[in-house]
Amino acid sequence: MNSALPRIVQPVSSLSRRRRISGVWPTAATNPSLIPPIKPPPHGRIVSKLPKVGPEPGEAMTSGLLQGTDLASTLLADLLAVRARSLALIAPLEPEDLCLQGMADASPPKWHLGHTTWFFEQFVLRPLQREGLPLAYEGAPEAWGFLFNSYYDAVGDRHPRPQRGLLSRPPIAAVLAWRQRLDAALEQLPALLERLEPSRAAAVWGLLELGRQHEQQHQELLLMDLLDGFSRNPLAPAYNSGPDGPEALWERRLAATADGAGAGAGHSWLSWPGGLLEIGHGGGGVADGGGFHFDNEAPRHRVWLEPFCLAPALVSNAAFAAFIADGGYRRPELWMSEGWAVCQQRGWRAPRYWRGEAEFTLAGLKPRRADAPVRHLSWFEADAYARWAGDRLPSEAEWELAAAAQAPAGGLPQAHGLLWQWTASPYRPYPGFAPAAGAVGEYNGKFMTSQFVLRGSGFLTPAGHERATYRNFFPPACRWMAAGLRLARDGQPPLSDPEPAP
């Protein structure tokens, strides 16, 4: 498949820009002949085109139509499509952007590209080589594991997260060449895995699918981190202001919502009777038609819910502006004690990217739409708003029930594709939760403290990377992700609009 990939980066003519990437930096590449050249781009920008390599990322994983197909080829095509999209995401960037780290919680684009490659090398390719599988693959220098390990303590030490932006070396060309070598090795696996016992081969395919989903998570993180980094630049640069950019996708999805994003006036709340219900993923995997799920989504279990109702739409910018105008950021009685302390310490007076009547986005500074859902909120802000409105945040069980079932009220509008939605639920293990064996068991389980669950998916979430059981999670003070809120109430629905009038 590498023969279908275009050259990732191109030279520029200006001698003053000689440090820009030339070709794939032939001094670092091991086999540049794998990638045919394309027309040099203007201004020396990094260029990556997303090739068509089978179904859209995630399509086969979520469609349940794997019967009658070559499963291995389908899984590999999905995986390589996701890998190619990571390169497409850096296409609008300048080389200087690749080490941009705006804060300690964020990571530079180059680090995301390296870390996702390290994941496959560490957990798939190196173990197979140790088992004697004749895999033609030259791995990264051993020291790179220290640079690109994220939090896997069982694997070894790691470079401090707040200092990832200082990693000017290895150069981007070396990281890209590493990605090419690894992708070429991945293409060898369908044939090689036939030599293994079926149970071992199935375990490897499971790790490959985990790696694919992991890379999709980092694609969203990469965009979140870029938005944070660019927001700190006085020039207010745009990542991508074109029709294929994230902000254009946001606008299209707003237009596609049935009642208009953030609308609520004159619309009834959605009600559910509650009772003894089941939530969580039911088990199974891709190979048996069960679909992928992270370990924290299982097992499926019973919960008791009292009758509840949810607002039919996410809270809008206009409604949140009313909260601000009513002193929402100045009234400690609306806030949790820790949240109030954070609010005062950090000087919060508005959502993360509000700039007067405008909003900073990945397309640069844009007028803020009053009817659009308010985004980039912390849990503390979402909780304070809900308290001010006389309502509350939904529990994750309430949210999942509403999103997964076509309830009498018609399901849950705006459940996916706009914003992740804060819930009132602390991030804790489900009854009977068991992390995976080995280092990959650190993926989710060890973070089940001091965080809150978000449900749904956002406009930065890759296509096919959403489901009703998905449990995202962040600390309550974080607000650089694409997060908003939906209101909930106990009992029967109210007669009035869920959003207070501005």
Per-residue pLDDT of the chain in tens (502 residues, 90 and over written 9): 333 333 333 322 232 332 333 333 232 333 333 333 323 333 333 333 332 223 333 333 333 333 334 778 899 999 999 999 999 999 999 999 999 999 999 999 999 999 999 999 999 999 999 999 999 999 999 999 999 999 888 888 999 999 999 999 999 999 999 999 999 999 999 999 999 999 999 999 999 999 999 999 999 999 999 999 999 999 999 999 999 999 999 999 999 985 544 444 446 899 999 999 999 998 755 444 458 999 999 999 999 999 999 999 999 999 999 999 999 999 999 999 999 999 999 999 999 999 999 999 999 999 999 999 999 999 999 999 999 999 999 999 999 999 986 534 447 999 999 999 999 999 999 999 988 888 888 888 888 999 999 999 999 999 999 999 999 999 999 999 999 999 999 997 555 555 554 5
Measured at the CA of 368, the angle between CA 362 and CA 374, to 5 degrees, comes to: 85
Q: Which residues contact 105 (CB under 8 A, 6 or more apart)?
A: 161, 478, 480
CB 102 within 8 A of CB 225: yes
**Counting every residue, how long is the chain?**
502
Amino acid letter for position 302: R
pTM score: 0.85
Distance of CA 439 to the CA centre of its chain: 22
Please answer whether residues 213 and 292 qualify as being in contact, where contact means their C-beta atoms are separated by less than 8 angstroms. yes
- Collapse the DSSP code of 47 into the 3-class scheme (helix H, G, I; strand E, B; otherwise coil) and give the result: coil
Residue-level pLDDT at 204: 96
What does the block give as tokens for 101? 């780290």
DSSP-assigned letters across all residues of 367-427: EPPTTSBP-S--HHHHHHHHHHTT-BPPPHHHHHHHHHS--TT---TT-SSB-EEEEEEE-
Segments making up each domain of the chain, as ranges: 2-231, 271-490
315 vs 27: CA distance, rounded Å: 52
Q: Give 409's contacts (C-beta < 8 A, 6+ positions apart).
A: 268, 270, 271, 272
CA distances (Å), 396 to each of 129, 201, 363, 399, in order?
Answer: 42, 35, 32, 5
CA–CA separation, 113 and 86 (whole Å): 7
Among the four given CATH numbers 3.40.50.20, 2.40.50.140, 3.90.245.10, 3.90.1580.10, the one describing domain 271-490? 3.90.1580.10
Reference 23, options 34, 44, 35, 9; nearest CA is 9
What is the per-residue pLDDT for 41? Answer: 32
Rounded distance between C-alpha atoms, residue 354 and residue 366, angstroms: 10
pLDDT score, position 440: 83
pLDDT given for residue 447 in this prediction: 85
Tokens representing residue 500 in the block: 């207070």
